[in-house]
Amino acid sequence: MFDRRKFLKASALSAAFAGVGQTKAGNIVAGMANGIEPVVISTWDFGIPANQAAWKVLAAGGRALDAVEQGVRVPEADPKVQTVGYGGFPDRDGRVTLDSCIMDEFGNCGSVAGMEHIMHPISVARMVMEKTPHVMLVGDGALQFALENGFEKVNLLTPESEKAWKEWLKTAKYSPVMNIENRSYDKLAPKKLPGNQYNHDTIGMLALDAKGNLSGACTTSGMAFKLHGRVGDSPIIGAGLYVDNEVGGATSTGVGEEVIRNVGSFLVVELMRQGYPPEAACKEAVMRIIRKKPETAKQIQVGFLALNKKGEYGAYAIQKGFSYAVCNKQRNDLLVDGKSYYNS
């Protein structure tokens, strides 16, 4: 039944949030309000070159699905990004295990979790989606499937990440840090954080193509030095990524356990379905985490990023420091500071 109060609340939120964010330079940017113009957005500063690769597909009139796959392959192959793909920090046992998923405009999805030795898990996830009756393959099964389908076996552990792991082993303290904010995009060099802590950050990407179709991809090496076998939110459809072509898409980064507990990306999309604009939907999903575990939430980062069918986008995080990259016809290198619950 039509709920007028809910509708009015959602309309008021629409006006307040309509795809607006604050750029690093302090300018206000707005998502598309009318018509369909392609756009691609992704988490963190390494999203800038990833978006640019995705944009090549979108600008040529290509499919959002191809765009997001091509886009996230960039950080997957970049050894300087130590939280995604090749060169990612290993788990507690020194093994680099990757989590990825992809979802298209028809609601098809594919995923791999805990997969070793493959440079582009996102492309394996796509193959799971397109060539099997399944959604998700894990561990050795995912590797076997990849090798059987022509993917090459590589060593994903770079000397830099191995060194970091060996240093971490001296204390073996598992303490994920919130962000690696204040890292400028041209300084993506491996960064050791104070107190022998290492970062976690995932690339989640959402695109709208010229036909008005949405797709998303999410890929990560997960939490640095996690228990072997730990799977985060990133390959879980509904948690790390969700796309509904009628409504919009959402993706997440941060402590995956909290995102899984709240089925975060699905929640964001469902809130958008109710009329929430992207940023407001992300905020409500963040508030759900904070309300359930206020003490835990003080210590962790979770950020959501969302794009709706109109091309409006927005983000919200628990902690300050969550940035996201936007690429459209106007700009190919925009980095936006997402709003957050804690601001200091």
Which residues are marked as active site?
Answer: 202
CB of 5 to ligand ASP, least distance (A): 35
Structure tokens at 9: 């609340």
Of 62, 256, 278, 314, the one binding ligand ASP (CB under 6 A) is: 256
Give the C-alpha distances (Å, rounded to integers) separating 229 from 116, 225, 262, 338: 11, 11, 21, 31
Per CB under 6 A, 220 contacts ligand ASP? yes
The pair phi, psi for residue 48, each rounded to 5°, is -65, -60
CB of 202 to ligand ASP, least distance (A): 3
CB of 88 to ligand ASP, least distance (A): 10
Per CB under 6 A, 201 contacts ligand ASP? yes
CB 67, CB 40: distance < 8 Å: yes
Of 42, 51, 111, 202, the one binding ligand ASP (CB under 6 A) is: 202
CB 279, CB 316: distance < 8 Å: yes
Among residues 49, 48, 68, the alpha carbon closest in space to that of 57 is found at 68
Stretch that binds ligand ASP, among 33-41, 102-110, 137-145, 254-262 (CB under 6 A): 254-262
CA 191 to CA 205: how far, in whole Å? Answer: 23
Per CB under 6 A, 338 contacts ligand ASP? no
Stretch that binds ligand ASP, among 133-141, 151-159, 194-202, 309-317 (CB under 6 A): 194-202
Of 45, 104, 233, 279, the one binding ligand ASP (CB under 6 A) is: 233
Which of 252/308 has CB closer to ligand ASP? Answer: 252
Stretch that binds ligand ASP, among 71-79, 116-124, 220-228, 320-328 (CB under 6 A): 220-228
Amino acid at residue number 178:
M
Strands (DSSP E) contained in 5-126 are 20-23, 28-30, 39-43, 98-103, 109-115
Name the burial class of residue 252, with classes exposed (0-12), middle (13-18) and buried (19+) by CB atoms within 10 angstroms of its CB: buried
202 CB neighbour count, 10 Å cutoff: 31
CB of 6 to ligand ASP, least distance (A): 31
Among residues 217, 7, 274, the alpha carbon closest in space to that of 98 is found at 217
Of 38, 47, 87, 232, the one binding ligand ASP (CB under 6 A) is: 232
CB 332, CB 51: distance < 8 Å: yes
Of 223, 280, 318, 325, the one binding ligand ASP (CB under 6 A) is: 223
Per CB under 6 A, 224 contacts ligand ASP? no
Per CB under 6 A, 114 contacts ligand ASP? no
CA 252 to CA 270: how far, in whole Å? Answer: 15
CB of 238 to ligand ASP, least distance (A): 14
Number of residues binding to ligand ASP, judged by CB under 6 A: 13
